[in-house]
Amino acid sequence: MTYCVAMRLSSGMIFVSDSRTNAGVDHISSFRKLHVFQVNDERTLVLQSAGNLATTQSVMSLLRRNCEDDNQPNLLNGKSLYDVALLVGDTLREVIRRDGEEFGGSLLLGGQIRGEEPRLFQIYPQGNFIEASVDTPYFQIGESKYGKPIIDRVLRFETPLSQAMQCALISMDSTLASNISVGLPLDAMVYRSDSFSDSEQYHITDQHPYFSQIRQLWSKGLLSVFSQLPPLQL
Amino acid sequence: MTYCVAMRLSSGMIFVSDSRTNAGVDHISSFRKLHVFQVNDERTLVLQSAGNLATTQSVMSLLRRNCEDDNQPNLLNGKSLYDVALLVGDTLREVIRRDGEEFGGSLLLGGQIRGEEPRLFQIYPQGNFIEASVDTPYFQIGESKYGKPIIDRVLRFETPLSQAMQCALISMDSTLASNISVGLPLDAMVYRSDSFSDSEQYHITDQHPYFSQIRQLWSKGLLSVFSQLPPLQL
B176-189 pLDDT per residue, tens: 988 877 888 999 99
Give the pLDDT of residue B25: 53
Distance of alpha carbon B165 from alpha carbon B138, whole angstroms? 12
B105-113, strands of its sheet edge to edge: B34-39, B43-51, B105-113, B119-123, B129-131
Instruction: Assign B163 a pLDDT band (cuts: 50, 70, 90).
Output: very high
Distance of alpha carbon A4 from alpha carbon A20, whole angstroms? 11
Give the pLDDT of residue B33: 85
Q: Which of B140, B145, B166 to mutate to test the interface with A (most CBs of A within 10 A)?
A: B145
Peptide bond before residue A185 is cis, with ω within 30 degrees of 0 = yes
Query: SS3 of A214, please?
Result: helix
- Nearest 5°: phi and psi at B161? -60, -40
Length of chain B, in residues: 234
Distance of alpha carbon A110 from alpha carbon A5, whole angstroms? 11
pLDDT digit string, tens, across residues B83-142: 999 999 999 999 999 999 899 999 999 999 999 999 999 999 999 999 999 999 999 999
Distance of alpha carbon B159 from alpha carbon B9, whole angstroms? 7
What residues have CB less than 8 Å from A39, skipping those under 6 apart? A76, A196
More confident of the two residues B193 and A52: B193
Nearest beta carbon to residue A222 from set B153, B177, B219: B153
Nearest beta carbon to residue A148 from set B178, B230, B234: B178
Question: Is the Cβ–Cβ distance between B168 and B7 less than 8 Å?
Answer: yes
Give the pLDDT of residue A22: 63
Mean per-residue pLDDT for B153-182?
93
Tell me the chain B residues in contact with residue A149 when contact means C-beta distances shorter than 8 Å.
146-147, 149, 174-175, 177-178
- The answer to whether the CB atoms of B146 and A146 lie below 8 A apart is yes
Distance of alpha carbon A210 from alpha carbon A103, whole angstroms? 36
Phi-psi region of A165 (alpha: psi -120 to 50; beta: other; left: phi over 0): alpha
pLDDT digit string, tens, across residues B52-88: 989 999 999 999 999 999 999 999 999 999 999 999 9
The sign of the dihedral angle between the CA atoms of A152, A156, A161, A162 is negative
Tell me the chain B residues in contact with residue A229 when contact means C-beta distances shorter than 8 Å.
166, 170, 214, 217-218
**Which DSSP string do the residues of B45-102 spell out, in sequence order?**
EEEEEEE-HHHHHHHHHHHHHHTT-TTS--TTT-SSHHHHHHHHHHHHHHHHHHH-TT
pLDDT value at B199 more than 60: yes
CA nearest to B177 within chain A: A149
Nearest-CA distance from A79 to chain B in Å?
A: 33
- The answer to whether the CB atoms of A145 and B145 lie below 8 A apart is yes
Question: Is the Cβ–Cβ distance between B85 and B129 less than 8 Å?
Answer: yes
Residues 72-101 (B) with a CB less than 8 A from some CB of A? none
pLDDT digit string, tens, across residues B132-141: 999 999 999 9
Tell me the chain B residues in contact with residue A146 when contact means C-beta distances shorter than 8 Å.
145-146, 148-149
Nearest-CA distance from B78 to chain A in Å?
A: 32
Nearest beta carbon to residue A149 from set B153, B162, B174: B174
Name the packing angle between helices A161-178 and A209-227 (round to 10°).
70
pLDDT value at B24 more than 60: no
Cβ-Cβ pairs closer than 8 A, A with B, add up to 118
Of B82, B89, B64, which is closest to residue B74 (Cα–Cα)? B64
- The answer to whether the CB atoms of B153 and A204 lie below 8 A apart is no
Give the pLDDT of residue A24: 57
Domains assigned to chain B: 3-225 (3.60.20.10)
Instruction: Assign B22 a pLDDT band (cuts: 50, 70, 90).
Output: low
Q: End-to-end CA distance of chain A, in Å?
A: 39
pLDDT digit string, tens, across residues B30-44: 678 899 999 999 999
Residues 125-184 (A) with a CB less than 8 A from some CB of B? 143, 145-150, 152-154, 162-163, 165-167, 170, 174-175, 177-178
Distance of alpha carbon B134 from alpha carbon B157, whole angstroms? 6
Burial of B150 (0-12, 13-18, 19+ CB in 10 A): buried
Amino acid at B104: G
Nearest-CA distance from B6 to chain A in Å?
A: 17
Question: Is the Cβ–Cβ distance between B185 and A185 less than 8 Å?
Answer: no
Max Cα-Cα span within chain B: 70
pLDDT tens string, chain A, 234 residues long: the values are 789 999 999 999 999 999 877 655 566 666 788 999 999 999 999 999 999 989 999 999 999 999 999 999 999 999 999 999 999 999 999 999 999 989 999 999 999 999 999 999 999 999 999 999 999 999 999 999 999 999 999 999 999 999 999 999 999 999 998 887 788 899 999 999 999 999 999 999 999 999 999 999 999 999 999 999 999 998
Residues 178-217 (B) with a CB less than 8 A from some CB of A? 178, 188, 190, 200, 202, 204, 209-210, 213-214, 217
Of B110, B81, B116, which is closest to residue B4 (Cα–Cα)? B110
Question: Is the Cβ–Cβ distance between A163 and A12 less than 8 Å?
Answer: no
**Can you point out the beta strands (E) in chain A?**
3-9, 12-17, 20-22, 28-30, 34-39, 43-51, 105-113, 119-123, 129-131, 138-142, 186-192, 201-204
DSSP B23: S
